A and B are shown apart, each in its own frame.
Chain A
Amino acid sequence: MSDVEGDDPEEEEYDESFEDSYAEDSEFEYEDEEYLDEDNMEKVEVEYTYPTSETKMGTLTHRMKYEPVDVEDVQRSLEEKVKQLDTILQIGTDECRILLMRYNWNDDKLLEDFTNESLDKFFEGSGLSKNSKPVGGWDLIEQKTDESFECHICFSSPSKDQPLAVFRLGNCDHPFCIRCYVKYIQEANANSRLLIPCPEADCGLIIRLSELQQLSDYGWKERERAREEKRKETEKQSRVPLTEEEIRQKYQRDQIEAELSEFSDLEIGEGETGENEEEKKVKVEPKNKADDTDEDPEAKLFNFQERILVQEREERERRRNQTLLSKYWFNVASKYCSKHCKSFKNCPFPDCDSLIMQQGFDSNVVATLEEFTKRQLIPTVQCSHKHEFCYSCLKGDHSPCPCSIAEKWEKKCKDDTETAHWITANTKDCPECSMPIEKNGGCNHMQCRNCNYEFCWVCLKDWACHNNSYFNCTKYVEDIGEAKTAQEKSRKSLERYLFYFRLFDNQRSSLSKDRELLEQFEGKIQEMQKKSSVSWIETLFYRESVDVLLQARRELMWSYAIMYYIDPKCPKQLVEGVQCTLSHQVEKLSRLFADTEVNAVLQQKAKFLNYSNTVKKSRDLLRETYLDCIANGVVKLTRK
């Protein structure tokens, strides 16, 4: 049993609703007595990779702790670190932040050096001022009117009627015109430099965050002002016809703008983002409205979730690039993640920018990821957008198949695709009337339109024999003794490969077909939610069942890949048995999805819960069995 237990709020709600429905519906039958087992209900607070620390068969396994985070979370945790250090050193958070960045956030080494070296020397070497003045108000920005002043970057000077805004760091006296300073920081940001020194080469002071804040605020205000002016002007222009003089002025202005934009793409880009914000909102809304009445719901529902993901990502990116400061912070956090690449990994899914933070292992034997994967364990993690992937090889979830086997299998599939494709064509003939049949749903229970014969897609035998017994068609009958000649052996090997490949491929196509079907369903359910007063929580069970089905299919799929690599001499009845059970239950659930009309979903709630719980249990059993068998050496993975 797991040592860390707690109740996931979402899971709790789900359980309640489940039991409610159970209480209400007296006719409710459940097929698997065990489904209410406490084991199933336990949830953990910290997320762990599978498996639980002890499997049913008693093998002690090891888990990886992790937490899905995003860049902003990392920012917050870094800020915490800065504050912590400040309570020890008492030198100001700005200074602590620079020191930490210099030490790659290694505070132990920092504190060691801090106590060993003299303070002055330590500060000087780090680009900090010995007698630092706190930054307050707007005292760093000054409107220079002195005509003898000259910005050393652009050589512009203030004139009598036009003062020049200059900026300097709090602890040095190297003022530059604020436009140049902003561009200087932008350039540094674009190259993701973190410790940005004063532009004066001999100065060496590093710009502090609160100084950057002032610069950033100023830049923001200026842009707002410029935008406002521009808006007013365009309003004016649109009302009054222009005189010749005005047209000439406008032409000149446009030219200047064109040149400026050439100079700094970044600033113009930033300036526009704020403006786009409103436009975007306006743009998005009619889109959403159009969705409700759209003629072709399938096309748009298919990437409904994808589109939301892309929108969210764009919004986040916009926010990150909005000001100098936000961009700077983004750089700090992402650099931190890339420097600590062992504990942070990006979600590999397209258009997803969430991170996974690895938090060590729940084991006293395994300490690193290498050791973890060496034990044929799979560190499957789930990011904050519910994408499941393997933390080690960064591919989509492939449990219960170990990384090395999954990689081999994928390579083999790629190499042998030609043959396999030729053999596993898209259609199969009906075993009764020889009518070509294309499979259009995930369920393996086929019914011929022509002769009404019901059969199993996998073994092409009568469905009747599948109903009450196990799926015997997913067991491969080995006969080692008969393979005599080399030719026969290779034929046998190919046959064996094709057998599992077909199972794998079949499961894969079922998976994608089920996904399509369910995505269409998802849209319909949302519609239903709007029309009738069905609450979100009431349809939650449906989404959960969908997740269970898709995940179970994926695991089943990968379990076939393992089967190919299992030494034929090993006893594999146990794993095959578990596989058959899961296969049977997955088909049942899939069938339920295919058969249920949208309107009747709520009435079928008990059935959905019942089936998906059974599937969940069998799936866990499958994982555990595989892990146990591999860990205990009951089955060996020997094939090349």
Chain B
Amino acid sequence: MSSRPSTAQRRLLKEYRELLREPTDGIVAGPVDENNLFKWNCLLVGPPGTPYENGVFRATMTFPKDYPLSPPKLKFDSPILHPNIYNDGTVCISILHPAGEDPMMYESADERWGPLQSIEKILLSVCSMLAEPNPNSPANVDAAKLWRDNREAFDEIIRKQVVKTLL
């Protein structure tokens, strides 16, 4: 008999079930391995109307032991050019940051991590981030520069990356 699951495990299992029961368009996510709920594989479909359209991007989500008090980490496995994604694929988005130390930060509490955020909400936020990059706090400065100065070249690179994701 296996031991009682921890809060994090119970919660992750529950979220997985919810995602299976009511799948959201453009998002597929689930644990890599039934025995380890703390690592998930995700597939994100590029939002239509953007250069990422039609692309299917693979990403890995890793959960800390004290999830949902601390946020998970999200990293793209497919190469993807975006001002808010580091070169190694790590995503920099406010929802993955723990609530700030600054008391005044609370006004944007719904944009930051809290125990009531969910995997689905994170992935949806990432999708909207793909559609609308935030150039004010770029993780990838080169990408942000290209995005701002030469949108055509930027889009071209992405379209090539999209083709690669489909191969």
Complex interface: stretch among B7-15, B29-37, B45-53:
B7-15
Query: Could you say which of A152, A188, A262 contacts B116, with CB atoms under 8 Å apart?
Result: A152
Interface band, chain B: 20 to 34
Residues from chain A with a CB closer than 8 A to the CB of B114 are: 199, 201
Residues of the B chain whose Cβ atoms lie less than 8 Å from the Cβ of A200: 116
What is the 8 Å Cβ interface bit string for chain A, positions 232-261, against chain B (1 contact, 0 not)? Answer: 000000000000000000001001100110
30 inter-chain pairs at a CB distance below 8 angstroms, sorted by A residue, are A101-B103, A153-B11, A153-B68, A153-B116, A154-B7, A154-B11, A156-B10, A179-B7, A180-B7, A184-B69, A187-B66, A191-B98, A193-B103, A195-B103, A199-B115, A199-B116, A200-B116, A201-B117, A204-B109, A206-B106, A252-B1, A252-B3, A252-B4, A255-B3, A256-B3, A256-B4, A259-B6, A262-B6, A263-B6, A263-B8
Chain B residues with CB under 8 A of A184: 69, 115
Point out which of B65, B70, B109, B110 has the most chain A C-beta atoms below 10 A from its C-beta: B109
Given that A197-B106, A204-B109 are known contacts, is A155 also in contact with B10, CB under 8 Å in the complex? yes
Q: Does A202 sit within 8 A of B, measured CB to CB?
A: yes
Task: List chain B positions with a Cβ less than 8 A from chain A.
Answer: 1, 3-4, 6-8, 10-11, 14, 65-66, 68-70, 98-99, 101, 103, 106, 109-110, 114-117
Given A195-B106, A201-B110, A259-B4, A183-B10 contact (CB < 8 Å): no
- A379 CB-CB contact with B under 8 Å: no
Identify the A interface with B (CB < 8 A).
101-102, 127, 152-156, 179-180, 183-184, 187-188, 191-195, 197, 199-202, 204, 206, 252, 255-256, 259-260, 262-264
Q: Which residues of B contact A193 (CB under 8 A)?
A: 99, 101, 103
Interface hub of A191, A199, A206 (most chain B Cβ within 10 A): A199
Q: Are A155 and B6 in contact (CB under 8 A)?
A: no
Shortest Cβ gap from B99 to chain A (Å): 7
Contacts of B109 in A (CB 8 A): 197, 201, 204
Q: How far is the CB of A443 from chain B (nearest CB, A)?
A: 55
A263:B14 contact, CB within 8 angstroms:
no
Counted as pairs of residues, one from A and one from B, with CB atoms less than 8 Å apart, the total is: 72
Query: In angstroms, how far is the closest chain A Cβ from the Cβ of B116?
Result: 6
Interface of B is mostly: loop
A291 to chain B, nearest CB (A): 43
CA of A600 to CA of B68, assembled, Å: 69
In the complex, which residues of chain B have a beta carbon less than 8 angstroms from the beta carbon of A156?
Answer: 7, 10
Task: Report the Cα distance A255→B4, complex, angstroms.
Answer: 8
CA distance A264 to B70 in the complex (A): 12
Contact A153 B110, beta carbon cutoff 8 Å: no
Q: Is A201 touching B103 in the complex (CB atoms < 8 A)?
A: no
A153 to B113, CA, bound (A): 13
A252 partner residues in chain B, CB cutoff 8 A: 1, 3-4
Contacts of A259 in B (CB 8 A): 3-4, 6
> Does B14 contact A155, Cβ atoms closer than 8 Å?
yes
Interchain CA distance A127-B106 in the complex, whole Å: 9
Inter-chain contacts of B70 with A (CB < 8 A) = 187
Give the distance to chain B from A104, nearest Cβ to Cβ, in Å.
9
- Give A202 to B103 CA distance when docked, in angstroms: 16
Q: Which residues of B contact A101 (CB under 8 A)?
A: 103
A-chain residues with CB within 8 Å of residue B110 when the two chains form the complex: 201-202
Measured CB to CB, the nearest residue on chain A to B65 is A262
| Given A153-B11, A184-B115, 17 more pairs with CB closer than 8 A | A155-B14, A180-B115, A183-B69, A191-B101, A193-B101, A195-B103, A201-B109, A201-B116, A202-B110, A204-B109, A252-B4, A255-B3, A255-B4, A259-B3, A260-B6, A262-B65, A263-B6
Contacts of B103 in A (CB 8 A): 101-102, 193-195
